[in-house]
Structure 1
Amino acid sequence: MSQATATAKWRTSASVILVASDAGTSDDYKLLMLKRSDATAMVVNQTVFPGGLLDSEADESVAWLQYFEEFGVPQEELRPLVLIRDDRPAILAPQGTGCYDRFFKSSRIWSREIILRLTAVRETFEEVGVLLARSQKQLDFGAVACVQDVPDLEAWQRRVHDKPSEFLTLCRHLKVVPDLWALHEWSAWASPGFLRKGYETVFFMAFVDKQPKLLEEPGEVKETMWLAPLDLLRLNQMGEVWFLPPQVYELLRLIGIKKYLRLLDFAVKRGRLGTTMFLPVVYNCEGTMVYVLPGDDYYVPEPHLVSEVISFPGSADEFIARSKHLHRYAYGLSIKNLELNIPPPNGHLRPLKFQMERQKL
């Protein structure tokens, strides 16, 4: 087993799994996903949850904390967003040296839970025109997100897209604050270390009581869709959309929960349990690439230091035979042979098996 000593670099991002109530259907909720434009997609029909890269100037500015304070949001309502735990992944660890009691008294926001929620809300507005925010009358800090109408939406979307720091200007103009409290911490994924350009992403889950109107940003978004998790997986199997492993894994988690209120209750409670970074360590098993995740016997203590594919002297079946605790998948055009025989980390949902239904002739 060879491991590199150099630490790979990942660009930090945040995404929103937006869940809309759709009562009266077998799956009484739908998820928002978007096809990336041909100019931004890795491959044709790449489909993702809304989200994008952290912008330091826009998202880390202490002006946000000052604005929250001016707006009437007490520090006590921001503190519950921050999980103080020893096992936080680096992407969610506090930044800088400020202690917790100096929450508002620094030049930059040190809490990643706040920064990345701001990133997720801003990017959702930039990509699909949905503004998750609360007015003065809506400061009950509830678990379901508030969606604001934005007059002259197209102009504001373009303005924020071109200069992300204008998102604060928009919120001031509309007299609203980003709805950080309705973004429930869900998961975190990082690209395998052997990739030249890596990303690390926190996924938040947010709930709305109905599907909001969308405005697709033409430079980034080719198409949007509201579909149940199972329908999205079927489209992937038919080749109409293309998912990276995190999207497939998260959809497999969700196909076991059919009800909006049940998923909302689970997401709120689970979000308080923290997150384990899923940074796959990749093994080459006689031509089959196997991606190993936390808890697996072959996961390594410092996965961020692994910048090469590790060669295993045997087949994928032999790789399984030598392991007692499994958390892994093979990957070709999509995830396949997903194995998890241990409790999911952080009290999470277990991904379920999915098989494409045979088409009737």
Structure 2
Amino acid sequence: MSTATSKWRTSASLILVSKEANKHQDYNLLMLKRSDPTAIVTNQTVFPGGLLDSEADEGVSWLQYFEEFGVPQESLRRLVLIRDDRPAILAPQGTGCYDRFFKRSNIWSREITLRLTALRECFEEVGILLGRSKNELNFGNIALPKELTDRKAWQRRVHNKPSEFLNLCRQLQVVPDLWALHEWSAWASPSIVRKGYETVFFAAFVDTQPSLLEESSEVKETLWLTPMEFLRLNKGGNLWFMPPQFYELARLAGVGTYKSLLGFATNRSRMGTTMFMPLLYACEGSMVYVLPGDDYYLPEPQHVDEIISFAGTVDEFRARSKNLHRYTFGALVQNLEINIPPPNGHLRPQSVSNERQKL
């Protein structure tokens, strides 16, 4: 899937995790309800994030700023994961040689540009700026929220012109905290969608819950809750999730502690990411969405631009499959099943098992 001519719009989202001592799970996640004009349905709830902006996120001016700031070249190199099995959205565009960064008109590494997208969008939507000053360039695993007195004015400037995010960082004398974003997953809309999205999700961790400033044209409400609390609200009809959000919450629902989740996310991020682009099968009375590793998943899902018919019920479709990785989706995601090892050393969605995952 070539992003240059793709019908998929490239985006990034941030799963922000904050410590919370007074709950069964000792951490909360930040999610936001989309404003009514931007939501697909009422109460659509998502992680902060949005579309990659070429001018704002891919400009070589970022790399020049990193160099001026004193960011070691090696610290940028280690964000780039060179593997043969990278999805197109994260595929290497060369040898990974750092010198190429400054000989092109834009940044070629999506590991850098999509992190910039996620951080910029997080500031645009909820006013959280994750950055590091010159005396904090130890590039730790925990993100550092920054305070700014004129946050509302800067949020408006960045919202109206995304390239202002670089000017904000220059004024505050910080660099975006790319290194505290841990590669988590990647999702793409089914190919039958005329204008879909391909999104990389990053996980970031903060020690204390940062204050928020909601951008009213995009955000209706912000919520800090545990994964299980989000899933219960979804089941009760109070929140509505697209499959990627539901699936990621189901993965996280079984992890009990902030410390174990931080360790897992940090270590797993080097194992790469498999693009989850669902294939749709029409069974009698239900639509089944099939994911990588399932017996009915096809090698090039980006070229499957129609719903595949199956002459039988969902149960009959399941009976013909040994390896399962699928769900049904109508008003809600239901019957999420995976009986294979999750790709890339990842977590098994909690909805397939009542056992707490051991980390």
Q: TM-score, normalised by structure 1?
A: 0.94
Which region of structure 1 is more displaced relative to structure 2, 330-339 or 35-44? 330-339
TM-superposed deviation, 1:287: 2.7
TM-superposed deviation, 1:101: 4.1
TM-superposed deviation, 1:94: 2.9
Instruction: Determine if contact 2:282/2:307 at 8 Å carries over to the other structure.
Output: yes
Aligned to 1:358: none
Among 80, 83, 101, the alignment partner of 1:82 is 80
Instruction: Determine if contact 1:8/1:307 at 8 Å carries over to the other structure.
Output: no
Q: TM-score, normalised by structure 2?
A: 0.95
- Give the 3-state SS of the residue equivalent to 1:243 in structure 2: coil
Among 324, 341, 350, the alignment partner of 2:339 is 341
The correspondence of residues 221-236 of structure 1 with structure 2, limited to 5 A, is 221-236=219-234
- Give the 3-state SS of the residue equivalent to 1:58 in structure 2: helix
- Give the 3-state SS of the residue equivalent to 1:78 in structure 2: helix
Aligned to 2:116: 118
Aligned to 2:315: 317
Q: CA RMSD in A?
A: 1.6
Aligned to 1:3: none
TM-superposed deviation, 1:205: 0.1
TM-superposed deviation, 1:354: 7.2
- Give the 3-state SS of the residue equivalent to 2:213 in structure 1: coil
Instruction: Determine if contact 2:190/2:277 at 8 Å carries over to the other structure.
Output: yes
Instruction: Determine if contact 2:281/2:310 at 8 Å carries over to the other structure.
Output: yes
- Relative to structure 1, the CA distance from residue 101 to residue 86 in structure 2 (aligned partners, 3 Å threshold; closer, same or farther) is farther
Deviations 1:22-48 (A, max 9, x none): 124211000000000001001111000
- Relative to structure 1, the CA distance from residue 140 to residue 97 in structure 2 (aligned partners, 3 Å threshold; closer, same or farther) is closer
Name the CA distance, whole Å, in 2 between partners of 1:101 and 1:128. 35
Aligned to 1:306: 304
Instruction: Determine if contact 2:342/2:348 at 8 Å carries over to the other structure.
Output: yes
TM-superposed deviation, 1:98: 8.0
TM-superposed deviation, 1:353: 1.8
Aligned to 2:133: 135
The correspondence of residues 1-361 of structure 1 with structure 2, limited to 5 A, is 9-95=7-93, 101-353=99-351
Name the CA distance, whole Å, in 1 between partners of 2:116 and 2:204. 13
TM-superposed deviation, 1:58: 0.3
The letter of the residue matching 1:33 is M
TM-superposed deviation, 1:335: 1.1
TM-superposed deviation, 1:105: 2.4
Instruction: Determine if contact 1:8/1:193 at 8 Å carries over to the other structure.
Output: no
TM-superposed deviation, 1:332: 1.3
Instruction: Determine if contact 2:7/2:196 at 8 Å carries over to the other structure.
Output: yes
TM-superposed deviation, 1:352: 1.4
TM-superposed deviation, 1:96: 7.2
Instruction: Determine if contact 1:8/1:304 at 8 Å carries over to the other structure.
Output: no
TM-superposed deviation, 1:100: 5.0
Name the CA distance, whole Å, in 2 between partners of 1:17 and 1:222. 18
Aligned to 1:359: none
- Give the 3-state SS of the residue equivalent to 1:104 in structure 2: helix
Aligned residues: 350
Name the CA distance, whole Å, in 1 between partners of 2:96 and 2:85. 19
The letter of the residue matching 1:132 is L
- Relative to structure 1, the CA distance from residue 97 to residue 350 in structure 2 (aligned partners, 3 Å threshold; closer, same or farther) is closer
- Give the 3-state SS of the residue equivalent to 1:14 in structure 2: strand
TM-superposed deviation, 1:193: 1.1
Name the CA distance, whole Å, in 2 between partners of 1:112 and 1:278. 18
Name the CA distance, whole Å, in 2 between partners of 1:83 and 1:188. 15
The letter of the residue matching 1:262 is S
| Higher relative contact order (Cα pairs below 8 Å, separated by 6+ residues) | 1
Name the CA distance, whole Å, in 2 between partners of 1:222 and 1:291. 30
Which region of structure 1 is more displaced relative to structure 2, 117-126 or 23-32? 23-32
> Can you give the 5+ residue segments of structure 1 that lack an aligned partner in the other structure?
1-6, 356-361
Percentage of pairs with the same residue:
72
The letter of the residue matching 1:165 is S
